[in-house]
Amino acid sequence: MEEKIFYRGNVKLEELNQLMRKWFRRATILIIGECEVDYFGRASSKASSSWRLVIIKEDGTVLVHESVGREPINWQPSSYVITELKESTLIIRAVRSRPREELLIRLRGECEVLVAKLGAGKFVMSGTEKDVIEFLANNPRIIDGNARLISREVSTPHGRVDLVLRRGDDTLILVEVKREVADIEAVFQLRRYVEYYMSLGVSNVKGVVIAQSITPAARKLLSDFGLEYRCIKVSEGGVYEKEVC
C-alpha cells in the first residue's frame, strides 16, 4: 500500500520551514503550536498568542482552529502560502489576490506536525445542510416574501454566510442554515456576520437562522440580538417546507 503519511513528529521552526516548502501543494500539513494570527482584507482581525491547530490543504486552503467550536477562528480559501523564518518566529502568509486578502500566522517554539496525503473520494448524503441551502437559494421567498438571492457561501473573516438575500427596500438578509437544531453558537455566528456587514457601512441588514428546531436559550438570544428564526421541516420526499415551530 502506498505510504500516505510523509512526516509526523515534533519539529523546530527551521525544520518546519523546510517541510512547508517541500510539501505545500503536495500534501496536507497539520501544525499544532503557539501562534498569533492576523487577517487583513475587506476587514481586519487579530488573535493573540495561544496554542492552536493550523491546517494547510493542497489547494492552499488554510484554517486555524482553537479548542472549542466547529468553525475555525480564521480561514482563507485557495491561497498562495509563503513562509519566512525570522529570528525565533516562523511567519506563514496565506495570500489571495481577488479579493486582496492576507492571513498572517506567526509561530513560535517547537510544533507538532503531521504531513499526509488525504483523499478526495465520492461522498453522497441525502438531506444535508447543503440541500437545505440549495432549496432556499432557489426559493428565497420562503424566508421573506419580497426577497431575492444575491449570493451564497459568502466568505467573511468569521466564516461563510450561507445565503445573502436582498429585499425590495434594499435590506440585506443574512441567512445561517442548520440541518437540525440551532443552538446559541449558531446565533453568535449569525450576529458576527451582521456586525461585520454593518462595519462595512451596510445600514439595513438583518439576520435569520434557519433550522428544524431551536433551543430555548438560542431563541432568547435571537430576541436579545434582534435576529430572527424560521423553521424549515424536511419531508420524506426531500421537500423543505416552512412550518410554525
Residues 40, 42, 48, 54: what is their CA dihedral angle, to the nearest 10 degrees? -80
The band of 234, judged by pLDDT with boundaries at 50, 70 and 90, is: low
Q: Over the stretch 47-85, which tens digit does the pLDDT of each residue have?
A: 999 999 999 999 999 999 999 887 788 988 888 999 999
C-alpha cell at 139: 426559493
What does the buried/exposed string (b/e) look like for 35-73 if buried means 16 or more CB atoms within 10 Å of the residue's CB? bbbebebeeeeebeeeebbbbbbeebbbbbbeeeeeebb
pLDDT of residue 77: 82
pLDDT of residue 75: 86
Going by C-beta distance under 8 Å and a sequence separation of 6 or more, which residues neighbour residue 44?
A: 38, 157
pLDDT at 224 over 70: yes
Mean pLDDT (the chain, rounded): 87
Most confidently predicted of 7-16, 154-163, 207-216 = 7-16
In whole angstroms, give the CA distance from residue 222 to residue 90: 41
Residue 103 near residue 74, CB atoms below 8 Å: yes
Please report which helix (H) or strand (E) contains residue 186, including its range: helix 184-199
Q: DSSP code of 228?
A: E
Reported as type and span, the H/E element at residue 176 is: strand 172-177
Reported confidence tier of residue 239, pLDDT bands at 50, 70, 90: very low
What would the CATH number be for the domain defined by 5-116?
Answer: 2.70.180.20
Q: Where in the chain is the domain with CATH 2.70.180.20?
A: 5-116
Contact 50, 29 (CB under 8 A): no
**DSSP symbol at 213:** E
For residue 168, the model assigns a pLDDT of: 82
Q: Please check whether residue 224 is in contact with residue 188, taking contact to mean a CB–CB distance below 8 angstroms.
A: no
- Of the two residues 163 and 239, the one the predictor is more confident about is 163
Tens digits of residue pLDDT in 91-146: 999 998 877 889 999 999 999 999 999 987 654 445 677 778 888 888 888 888 88
Instruction: Characterize 130-150 residue by residue with b for buried, 16 or more Cβ atoms within 10 angstroms of its Cβ, and e for exposed.
Output: ebbbebbbeebebbbeebebe
Question: Tell me, what's the pLDDT at 123?
Answer: 41
Domain with CATH 3.40.1350.10 in the chain: 129-242
Alpha-carbon span 148 to 150, nearest angstrom: 7
> Considering the domain 129-242 in this protein, what is its CATH number?
3.40.1350.10
**What local confidence, expressed as pLDDT, does residue 98 receive?**
75
Instruction: Answer whether residue 244 shows pLDDT above 60.
Output: no
CA distances, 70 to each of 85, 115, 207 (Å): 31, 22, 20
